[in-house]
Amino acid sequence: MSAGKLTGCAVAALIAFGPPAFAADASPTAQDAKAFVARAEAAQDKMSEYRARVGWVQNTYLTDDTNWLAAKANAEGTDMQVSDAKEAAKFDRVQVDPVTRRKLELLKRAIVIPASARVGASQEVADLQTRLDDAYSTAKLEHNGKKLTLDEMEDMFRTLRDPNETRALWEGWRRVSGVKMVKDYGRMVELANEGSRELGYKDTGALWRSWYDMNPDDFAAKTDALWTQVAPLYDKLHCYVRDKLNERYGDAVQPKTGGIRADLLGNMWGQEWGNVYDIVAPKNVGMGYDLTTALVGHKYDPMKIVHTADDWYQSLGFKPLPQSFWDRSMFLRPADREVVCHASAWDIDNLDDVRVKACFTVTADDFFTAHHELGHNFYQRAYGVQPFLFRDGANDGFHEAIGDLAGLNALTPSYLKQIGLIDEVPGADSEIPYLLKMALDKVAILPWTLLVDKWRWGVFSGEIDAAHYNSAWWDLVTKYQGLVPPGPRPADAFDPGAKFHIANNTPYMRYFLATIYEFQFYRAACRIAGQKGPLNRCSVYGNKKVGERLNAMLTMGQSKPWPEAMAAFSGEKDIDASAIAEYFAPLAKWLDQQNKGQNCAR
C-alpha cells in the first residue's frame, strides 16, 4: 500500500485557493484551462506535502491531538481537491491540448472520498475518516487475560490449529473492531455520495471505477472477465484445500462439501492461505527449505530484510534509497506509543523523501512485504521527474503490481540461492510443493480482492442498505471465496469493518488488478531477460536490461493512459490473466488429479 498524494495537506492560511480561472460572465477558453491547471497543480503540490507530513505524524504517534490535526488537514485538503475537481469540470467542452486535458481529467477524479461544497461537509467527512481509522488501529481484544493487538492475533493465526481458539479470535476481532464503526461508516457513505454527485458521478463507486481510462461500467465488466479467466484455478484449489481441512478437523468442524470455515485458513480474513501449508502439503515431498527458518538461521533482522529488498532494486540499476529513508522510516512497532502498523510506503515531498511505515518481523511474509513496499518507493522516485499531477502510478493497480513483481521474485528459489539464503535450488520434484505454497497466497487472494470493492460499489449505489451490510457481505464472500463464518453472526455485526481498508476507505480493486499485472509483468520481465524454462523458476535479479525497461514505464507515472505505460515495459496493451494460468499450469494439472472423485461444488 502506498501513501502520499492523497494523504498529504496544507492549512488554508498557507495556500490561497486563488480566483476563478476565468471571469464569471465569459465562456472558458483553452488559455483559461491552462492557467487553472498551472494554479491548481502548484497549490496541490504544496498541500500534498503538508498532508503527508501531518499524516505521517498521526500514523506513527496516534493520540487525540494527532488525530485532530489529521482530521483538520484532511478536511482542508478535501476542500481544495473538491474545489479543483468542480473547476476542472467546467472545461469539459473546451478544446485543449492533450496534456492539459489529461491533467483536467486527473483533477476531476483525484479524490477518494469527496465532500460536498456544503459548509461543514468536508470537516465532517474528515472527522468520520479519522474516527474510523482510529477505531480500527487502536482496537484490542481481551483474550485469556491478555490484551491482544491485531498483529499479535495475526501472528497467532499463523500456527494456531485449535478450531475453538481460531473461532474465538476470529469472532473476537470482529466484535472489537467492526461493530463500533458501523454508524460512522453509514454516515460517511452518505456524505461521500453527496460529494460524488456534485462532481457529476452517480455515486462514489462510479467515481472509483472512473480511474482506469475507460467507462466505469466497462471497467466493472473488465473485472468480471478477468475473474472468469482465473476462477477455474481457484475452484480447483478451493476443492483441494477443503478436503485437506476435512481430513484434519473432521465433518463436525469442516464438512467435505460447501464452504470452507473462514477461521481455519491461517489468516484473519481468509484472504491468503499460505499459513496452513502444513495441513495441505503434498505427502512425502517438500520444497527443500523453509524461508522463515532460513531467514532466522542466517541471522536476518528486520533491517537486514529491508536492506535486502533495497539491493534487489539496485541490482536492476536503480540508485540506492537516500539516507533519509533509513533515518525517517518506521520499521518496527514502537513499545511506547500507539501506531498504525499496517505496512505502507510514503512519498512525503513528491521528490526524494520516501519512507516505509511497518512493523516488520523476521518471517517469509515480511520478506515479501519489504520487497513490495519498496516497490512503491522506487516508483515514486522514478516519476518524480514528472509534473506534480503526473506523479502517480499509471493506475493504482500498477503501483501495487511493481512491488508484487519484486515480491514474486523474492520468493523464487533461484533468487534465494543468488543471495545466499538457500544453498541449492531444489530439484523438479519440489515444483508442486512450491507452486501450491505460492497459490495458497497468490491464487487464494484473488476473489477476496474482487469482492471487497464489489461490496462497496453496492453500498455506494444503494443496492446494499445499512440494514443488510453484513448479510450482503457474506453473500459475496460465499459467492466468490466459498467461505462461511465459524458460527452464526450477531444481528449487529459489521464484518467488513474487520478489514483495515474498509475503515480507512482505501479502494481495494487495485489489489485485484495488481495480482493480474504482477504475473503479466513477471512474464514480460523474464522474456526481456531471455529466461528459458518454467516461468515459476525465473529470477531477474541483477538484470540491467529488465531494469531499463521497467524504469521506462515507471518514469511515465500517470502522464499517459495505463495501456501505453504497460506497453513501454511489456509490449502488451491490455490486462490479461493468462500469465497466471501459465505460471501455475503444472499445479492445475496436479490439482485435477488430487480432486478426482471429489464433489467440488461449493
Domain contains 529: yes
Picking from 94, 125, 156, the residue at the C-terminal end of a domain is 125
Domain contains 534: yes
Question: What pLDDT, on a 0 to 100 scale, did the predictor assign at position 327?
Answer: 97
Task: Determine whether 373 is an active site residue.
Answer: yes
Task: Determine whether 247 is an active site residue.
Answer: no
Domain contains 152: no
pLDDT tens by residue, 80-93: 988 999 899 899 99
Nearest to 547 by CA among 383, 384, 317, 371: 317
> 3-class SS at 37?
helix
Please give the grid coordinates belonging to residue 146: 491478555
Domain contains 435: yes
Which amino acid is located at 69 in the chain? L
Question: What pLDDT, on a 0 to 100 scale, did the predictor assign at position 24?
Answer: 53
Domain contains 397: yes
Buried b vs exposed e over 555-571: b needs ≥16 C-beta within 10 Å? bbbbbbebeebbebbbe
Picking from 97, 125, 153, the residue at the C-terminal end of a domain is 125
Domain extent for 312:
291-443+509-576
Residue the block writes with cell 498483529: 151
Query: Which residue out of 373, 400, 431, 518 is catalytically annotated?
Result: 373
pTM score, whole prediction: 0.87
Domain contains 162: no
Domain contains 249: no
Tell me the pairing of strands 344-347 and 354-357: antiparallel
Domain contains 416: yes
Query: Which residue out of 171, 372, 501, 518 is catalytically annotated?
Result: 501
pLDDT tens by residue, 107-144: 988 889 988 888 999 889 989 988 998 889 899 999 99
Contacts of 335 (CB under 8 A, 6+ apart): none
Rounded to whole angstroms, how far apart are CA atoms 44 and 5?
9
Rounded to whole angstroms, how far apart are CA atoms 540 and 558?
25
Per the DSSP assignment, residues forming a β-bridge with 354 are 347
Q: Pick out the chain residues at pLDDT < 50.
A: 6-21
Contact 282, 243 (CB under 8 A): no
Count of domains observed in the chain: 2
Picking from 64, 94, 125, the residue at the C-terminal end of a domain is 125
Contact 43, 90 (CB under 8 A): no
Per the DSSP assignment, residues forming a β-bridge with 330 are 357
